[in-house]
Amino acid sequence: MRINAAIGLSAVALALAMGHAAPAHAGNVAGAGMECYVDTFRYDIATPDTCSSLWVPNGAHNPTVAVFSVTGLPAGNYGFVWRNLENNAIVASCANQNACAVPISTDLSGDGVAILQATVTDLDTGASRQVQATAYYYDGYT
């Protein structure tokens, strides 16, 4: 009996000496935003809220993809639901990812626009926020 009591007291003493862990904090969706770029053969840089690019021969594919990503989230446990606002359809291929790529054609061979919205949900608190961005792809040759 004395051995078990000694082990128990030692464990308590060790736990007290180590202190306690700080409580875990859930992520905060308030700072979430979105950026995008249109994928070309150049070094494409994502920009907040709106992005655009020009198609020229040997400069990009047509169609290509517009790449969208959610930014401004601290470490946390998030869910993502992506919606294409041009046709109001869920983009299932991007479910629960913080980035999404969709096809885009130039304004002469398509409408030259891609608009995506992401609903970001903090899975620990249930807090959510919607963010969106618009990509434009122009024909710079014709």
Q: What is the pTM of this model?
A: 0.81
Position 97 in a domain: yes
Query: Where do the DSSP E strands lie in 59-111?
Result: 64-71, 78-84, 89-90, 99-104
Average pLDDT, the chain: 87
Say if residue 131's pLDDT is above 80. Answer: yes
Q: Which residue has the higher pLDDT, 80 or 3?
A: 80
Average pLDDT, integer, range 16-30: 56
The CATH number given to whatever domain includes residue 81 is 2.60.40.10
Position 11 in a domain: no
How many domains does the chain contain in total? 1
Task: Of 137, 34, 44, give the one whose Cα is nearest residue 94.
Answer: 34
Position 92 in a domain: yes
Rounded-to-10 torsion of CA 95, 96, 101, 102: 20
Position 42 in a domain: yes
Position 39 in a domain: yes
Position 109 in a domain: yes
Position 101 in a domain: yes
Position 27 confidence tier, pLDDT thresholds 50, 70, 90: confident
pLDDT tens string 45-90? 999 999 999 999 999 999 999 999 999 999 999 999 999 999 999 9
- What residue numbers bound the domain in which 68 lies? 25-139
Q: Which helix (H) or strand (E) is 52 found in, with range?
A: strand 50-55
Q: Which residue has the higher pLDDT, 1 or 26?
A: 26
Position 127 in a domain: yes
Cα 32 to Cα 72: distance, rounded to the nearest angstrom: 5
Average pLDDT, integer, range 25-48: 92
Q: Which residue has the higher pLDDT, 73 or 15?
A: 73
Position 122 confidence tier, pLDDT thresholds 50, 70, 90: very high
